[in-house]
Structure 1
Amino acid sequence: MTSSSFQNNRRLLVSPTSCRLIDCSKVCCNYLGSAREGQDWAVAKYRYDAIGQRIRLWEFGQVDNKSFHANMLFLFRKAVVYTIDYRNRTCQKNPLHTAFHPSHIPHNASLLSQVILGGSSAPGEGLLVNTWTGDVPETGGKYLATVTEFGCIPVSTLYYTEKSGWVVTNYFNAVKGIEDPEQFFPPPFCTDADTEEEELDFFSAFF
């Protein structure tokens, strides 16, 4: 790399700051996650509404060598999660035993690195991202989170607890906004669903 191109690339770098998805309070994206050294995996469509504290997941994958499909609606303000089966028109309703955690880089996170994914020789070849690290006191876990410098859009996360090991998640096709707000309402056949005794948390949807 020549001296001039090095100086040009340096201009791409900015001073990173911890970020919240203020401009991305409603996000649509897909993700691919894996755990237990790839033995467990899942692919999902993910809909996130920070203002209404709602999350919708359509997911399929494999856990303990068994395939699964899941369609889940998390309503944190109502402390309830629905597991929805459109084929059989059945609905399971469970208490949601967790608080809503907005997707953001906490202010006490530590910056690990700022890099350009892809190339940096010409405009449009790369994506400027920041990787942050920190602890999760509630679970005794720790994380590495990579987000775009501009927009704070999630790119990937690594989350570790003794129970789960490393859970690797890659995000793609992120879009600001929700194309169909009805996705955050349970279907009519869930109206009379009895509430199960078993409490679930958000990570019940991930392995």
Structure 2
Amino acid sequence: MNVMKSLLLLSLVLLLIWTGSCSAQRPRRCHTPPLLSGSMSVSAREGQDWAFAKYRYDAIGQRIRVWEFGTHESESFHLNMLFLFREHVVYSMDYKNRTCQKNPLHSAFHPSHIPRNASWLAQVVLGGSSAPGEGLLVNTWTGDVPETAGKYMATVTEFGCIPVSTLYYTPQSGWIVTTYFNAVTGIEDPEQFIPPPFCDDVEIEEENLDFFSGFFSL
């Protein structure tokens, strides 16, 4: 189960570093909208593992909220986490049992952008191109991730810098397929970045977490 949770987090991280925009002639690197809401699905191990998540991304306040459910080796799991980078803390919350775990967070916040080593691959229309509204104009980027001996292919919209899909490969995990959808610029309910009342009196754990180990710990 921890493996699938880490895969979904990895897909969220890819969202935060691969999204870009394009010019009329050739795509140029840029940042995503500073406030973004949306959903994603993740599939790994040829569909044996899968997860679905909703996310809220706030680059202004340096905050990320994630709700997730999925299966790993036929076992279901749920996840609800709040990352507050300026406060250097991450909350793991269970609303059903009204329990909360609070850990130090020692990861720096990095606004979404296309890495310098990314190479533009192609521009295509998803769907049809015979009439307006039939298709979506997108650009695909590729690159390597030396830290994990990995490689990726990320597709984003021509207009708006919105992520569409990513393919990510490492020798350890194989291929991970992520699809992003229902993206909306802005945050409808900013209170989603406020810890619930049952987290108020929770003592902070001694274990230090970064953006990846926050998922591993569950």
**Deviation at residue 146 of structure 1 after TM alignment:** 0.7
* Contact 1:82/1:94 (8 A) holds in 2: yes
- Is 1:19 matched up with 2:35? no
User: Contact between 1:73 and 1:184, CA under 8 Å: does it hold in 2?
Assistant: yes
Query: Do the aligned partners of 1:130 and 1:146 also contact (CA within 8 Å) in 2?
Result: yes
Other-structure match for 1:4 = none
Look up the match of 1:187. Answer: 196
Aligned to 2:42: 33
8 Å contact kept, 1:42–1:59: yes
CA 161–44 in structure 1, closer or farther in 2 if over 3 Å, else same: same
Q: Write the distance in 2 (CA, Å) between the matches of 1:150 and 1:121.
A: 19
CA distance in structure 2 between the aligned counterparts of 1:113 and 1:190, rounded to whole angstroms? 47
Match of 2:77 in 1: 68
* Equivalent in the alignment of 1:3: none
Q: Distance in 2 between matches of 1:201 and 1:41?
A: 23
Contact persistence 1:18–1:109 (CA under 8 A): no
How far residue 38 of structure 1 moved from its aligned partner, in angstroms, is 1.6
Q: Which amino acid aligns with 2:40?
A: Y
User: With structure 1 as the length reference, what TM-score do the two structures score?
Assistant: 0.84
Q: 1:31 to 1:186 in 2, by over 3 A?
A: same
**C-alpha separation in 1, matches of 2:94 and 2:129:** 46
Which 5+ residue runs of structure 2 have no aligned equivalent?
1-23
Distance 2:148 2:90 in 1: 20
Q: Take 2:106 and 2:146, find their aligned partners in 1: how far apart are those partners?
A: 17
Contact 2:117/2:144 (CA < 8 Å) preserved in 1?
Answer: no
Matches within 5 A, 1:1-207: 14-21=25-32, 24-203=33-212, 204-205=214-215
Question: Alignment RMSD, CA only?
Answer: 2.0
Q: Kindly name which structure, 1 or 2, has the bigger radius of gyration based on alpha carbons.
A: 1
- Contact between 1:19 and 1:106, CA under 8 Å: does it hold in 2? no
Query: CA 1:95/1:105 → structure 2, altered by over 3 Å: closer, same or farther?
Result: same
Where does residue 5 of structure 1 map in the other structure? none
* 1:154-193 Cα shifts (integer Å, max 9, x gaps): 1011222233222211011100000011111111211222
Q: 1:169 to 1:126 in 2, by over 3 A?
A: same
Aligned-partner residue type, residue 109 of structure 2: F
Task: State TM-score, norm by structure 2.
Answer: 0.80
In structure 2, how many angstroms separate the alpha carbons of the residues matched to 1:28 and 1:103? 13
Equivalent position SS for 2:144? strand
SS in structure 1 of the partner of residue 198 of structure 2: helix
Letter of the 1:90 partner, please give it: T
AA aligned to 1:130 is N
The CA distance in 1 between the partners of 2:207 and 2:49, in whole Å, is 23
Quote how far apart the aligned CAs of 1:66 are: 1.1
